Structure 1
Amino acid sequence: MRSYTDLPRATRLTVLFVVALFALSAVVLLIFRVARSGALPGTTVVGVDVGGMDGEELRRALREVQEARGGDELEVSPSGDDALGAGSAGTQGSVTTSGTDMGYRIDVVSTAGNVLERGRQGNPFAALADHLVSTFGTITEEPIDSFDEEEFRSWLERNDGELSTQPFPGGVEFEGSNVTPRYPEAGLVLDESELESKALGATRAPGEDTITVATEEAEPPTTDADVDELVESAEDLVSGPVTLTRPNGILTISPGEIGAATRVVVIEEDNDTRLDLRVGATALQRSLGDRVAQLETEPQDATFQLSGSSVNVVPSVEGFEFAPRTSARQVLKVASRRNRTGKLKGNTVEADFTTKDAKALKITEQVSSFTTLHSCCEPRVTNIHVIADMVDGVVIEPGESFSLNDFVGPRTTANGFVGAPAISDGEFVEEVGGGISQFATTFFNAIYFGGYDFLEYQAHSYYISRYPMGREATISSPAPDLAFLNDSDAGIYVDTSYTDTSITVTFYGNVNGEIESATGAPYNFTRPKRECRTNPDLKKGEEVVVQTGYEGFDIEVTRIFPSGDEEEFFTRYQNGPTIVERRKC
């Protein structure tokens, strides 16, 4: 084999020149690549200079190109004699839109990748050529673009009525019990492939543009025979009234109401298309108006019925609610029967407090009961009866707390309370709701002997002889309150009853033994003070006793549980002043 030195001088010079040229090209290419970052200088996309851009700056520029291209106005219309009636805008049978509206998108990531690839190809000659062109001229890169398939399809659906007329599958029209056939008709629809191609080309071209798209006749999927068969079904449907019954009434739907609510639907199954009738739920409800409300019933909660010292559950009753969709389907079904009569179906409305809920509370027997006495026929008795009626029948679930103030609310005349004597700062005053502390005391003792946990209570400041010492409570708004926790595993049913001279509160639940109570002797007595008030109307030396004073004292009461545990209740009663009036104190 001949060595390099054996070659003719001219050949050696040629080889040396080629090698030097390659080396120089490599050096130049390396210099270009090091010196130039981002898109090569002079690179344009749709006339926009993106030279030197990289990363987000380049992608932002491409999005602006997309916005500019897609924003140009584009008018679309069917071609020639196929044009339809007046369109939504512009010329007859046309739609004015834009590429953006039709879903025009530039693949920003892929296009940016192509731009940045220029001058960086694996082929060094192609890369060097790009660098040289960018140095002395312009590199043009076309964007990768298309219509977003979902948005383009949505645009077609929105504008279908302007550019196409879909084939009419046929149907029927109702007027009372009369049925009129409407036979199938062919339609004209746009060539969607041509539309997409022309719209994309027009969007790529700068400025406004108009495109015309060919249409083709579309045959209906049904025949006249299908409509004739549908007419027979429609005539049967409105051949007479439909009667739907409930225990509390009858709903009669006339042929006219049935027809007004009926529509034709096209059903496609296994490459077969057929016509059918459906009664529309909304249309049926509109036709029936308020008549359905007379057949609806409210659910009734389960309650408790007392029998001596035991408790029975009175079952809940489900309510009934008219269900338009169910009834619409039922009308079609019942209309096919010979007697055209059926039981009205609807939604069952469950009670808020069901039989199951009531039984789960395990309220089976009397837990505690307490009665206090009072004089007859005083205004305070009215208030005692009002609050007793409010609380009667209350159910307190296991783990639930009960506040008398929260449950009863403000004592106002609007709520049935009247003015009656009450104690304020040791004196008797008149206030609306006065006297209800007697109910609070009775309620307190039902809690006490039921063995439940007191959350809040306050005894009277002064001892009142009609109440048991140390086992009584007062109540006012917003405080003091009487509240307790049902800390048992069974619910509590509260029963209140009264006579003209007594009030009784009874708790029913699940007995866990009997509560006992021990009351100690009063101690730490304090004598009443004497207060004098001036009354100039009295004679000299005359004295009138306005209020007789009473002693204060301390007392302790012990609640004894079946387990042997004890709970102490300490009460300190203040002394009440003797109040007298004299002409001069």
Structure 2
Amino acid sequence: MTSEFDSDTGQARRRRRVTIASLVGALTLLVVGYVGAAAWASGRVPSDTTVGGVQIGGLGPAAARDALAKGVEKRATAPIELTAGDKKATIDPKEAGLAVDLDESVADLTGFSLNPVKVIGHLTGGVERGLTTKVDEDKLRAAVEKAAAELEIAPKDGSISVAGGKVAVVEPVKGQKVEVDPTAETVAAAWPRSAPIVAPVEESSPKVTAEELERVKTEFADKAMSGPIGIKAGDKTFEVPAVALAPAISFPADSEGRITPKLDDKLVVAVVSKAAAKAGATVAAKDASVTFRDGQPAVVPSRTGVALDTTKIVGPVTAALTSEERAAILPVTVAQPKFTTEKAQATLPKGQISTFTTYFNANGGGRVTNIRIAARALNGTYVPPGGTFSLNGVLGRRTPDKGYVKGGVISEGRLSENYGGGISQVSTTLFNAAFFAGVEFKEYMAHGFYISRYPEGREATISYPYPDNRWVNTTDGGIYIRASSTGGQVTVSFYGTKKWDVTATKSPRRNIVQPKKITDPSPECITQAPTPGFDVTVTRIFKQGGRTVRTQAFNTHYNPEDDVTCTHPDAK
């Protein structure tokens, strides 16, 4: 017979077994469910997940990587903008060795794990992380250095000027140089982003500061250009405008950036002297000259003048530029002529020392007119002892308003026409008179080819401004030139003090070159008769008292004058 106690105990045991079994089953179900959830979550990115601002939540690993690649493509390839002050430069990410590491950026967002934190994170979502990037440091530094060169600004000193009489200030510019290493670090940390990156820079200041410019402007420039300078010279007063002095003023700075205004002494003297002459405060001295009266040489007396003492101009004018009175007193002196009456008297021509005549066709048209105009201009020229003569200086440019007409000239080995053509005959005649007077030639040139009306090796062409017929009077007296042209000849005679007896010898022709034959159909063509080219040497012999003092060789090269036949009906 079973007791009631035994019955209760058995039931209790059964209940406990049932409860334990139920708990085990529930726990098993829970574990299985948890493992199942973990397994489900492992195949996709947690929901509402962003990487580098790109939403990839709920996607599988491959899809998440593709979505991220597409989402950052624009940012990853866009140029990186660097700024430094007002300047901008860009960097190509690829050239700079910058790339997004897609695999690392999505790593650990998928994959099986029983870690409750990860499992719950997968189920609840909300993960947010940045991009992982790869950086080639050498390439990045090189790219930043290149951009830094574009962003660099060299310091520029300020400047001040008074050009045109107006004070102008150019403000100084601070320099900037990009710090490469910190900039590279900033780019690597910030990339990829669309906002410009401000590059750290090192600033440098110019030597000449804005404060220094303002000082010089106030203390000197504004005052100097505030109005004209009043000047008293002798019994005359006149003004020099500030704008006239402006080109003489400069503002150099020393090594410390301090500016000291500087005046060009020569320019100041020239400006003041010009104003003085215009006001009649100075009068140029006049050299003596020589003329012929009744066939005899006579002296036109020299005259003293009034001049400023050029050594005492700059100081007073400089002081006046910034003074309250803006006035200067300048001393005057007596200006002496270079060629005085006494010198002219002592060196008066004593007689004819040389003469030469050349001949031409009196019906030669324009060249005859030009010869006579040039001879009249040359006639009466006086060259003092040691003086330099220039035929171009006497005649000037040959223009129609002086009466010159077109005449024959030689241009590039061919005959042509131009204003003043023919006066080379005057030049050649003058050359021979000068040759036999014994002067020292400084500049002359023979014709390109030989012209039979002139002596071989003793002739001189001329054009304006080059070549010239220029020589120095090395005789013991002044030379008075008489020139005239009548009929078919032109004569030039020198009157002075004879120093040498001059004769000449001529070598045989050598290096003879025959001319070419040319047929020219152009209307400008001028017929040429053939003449061979050759070299020749003329020797000038200086004698005193029948004894040869010295000799001088003149070597001349002539090109051949080609045989030119003109076929155009309008040709000459």
TM-score (normalizing by structure 1): 0.39
Q: Which has the larger radius of gyration?
A: 2
